[in-house]
Amino acid sequence: MKEKLNEILVKEYESLNKLLSVLDEQHSRIVKNDVFGMEAIVGKIEKENKAVAELEMERRKLTQGREISGIIQQFKDEDLDRNYRNLKMLLQQLILQKDNNELLIRQRLGFTTQMLSILSPDRSAKTYNANGRRRK
């Protein structure tokens, strides 16, 4: 079981690393404002997500719902522990990159919305609320 778990962790690490490279590519497309490139990346992200999910299901089936950290402590294997720690660090990098990409996309959408409101302003009369700000 120990060897099989270690093999699954290595495969999961490789798959997550591919996902990170796709997210990096998405980041560069966002920065370059390449809309069609960002659209093409979506399929790649879904493909890599599916591969990661399959490996995770295989790992969960092997561990039978038990916590993986407890299993690793039970085996006291240095390679298994190192691979698990590397996997956790890579997951943190993935979360950071995903959040960064989402933030950039939201920022671009906000900018686009402001530009559209400048180009076609609302013709209705503006009113003020209790705080002295205009209602839209």
Q: What is the reported pLDDT for 136? A: 57
Query: Which residue, among 61, 41, 66, 52, has the nearest Cα to 13 in the 3D structure?
Result: 52
Give how far Cα 121 sits from Cα of 43, 63, 102, Å.
Answer: 37, 59, 28
What is the pTM (predicted TM-score) of this model? 0.79
Query: Which residue, among 24, 16, 5, has the nearest Cα to 48 in the 3D structure?
Result: 16
Give the number of other CB atoms < 10 A from CB of residue 58.
16
Q: What is the reported pLDDT for 125? A: 65
Indicate the fold that domain 2-119 takes in CATH. Methane Monooxygenase Hydroxylase; Chain G, domain 1 (1.20.58)
- The full DSSP string for 91-124 is HHHHHHHHHHHHHHHHHHHHHHHHHHHHHS---S
Token reading at 49: 């997500």
Give the number of other CB atoms < 10 A from CB of residue 71.
17
40 φ/ψ sector (left φ>0, alpha ψ -120 to 50, else beta): alpha
Evaluate whether 81 touches 34 at the Cβ level (below 8 Å).
no
Q: What is the reported pLDDT for 98? A: 96
Question: Can you give the pLDDT of all 136 residues of the chain as single tens digits?
Answer: 889 999 999 999 999 999 999 999 999 999 998 989 999 999 999 999 999 999 999 999 999 888 888 888 888 889 999 999 999 999 999 999 999 999 999 998 888 888 887 788 766 666 777 787 776 5
Query: Which residue ranges make up each domain of the chain?
Result: 2-119
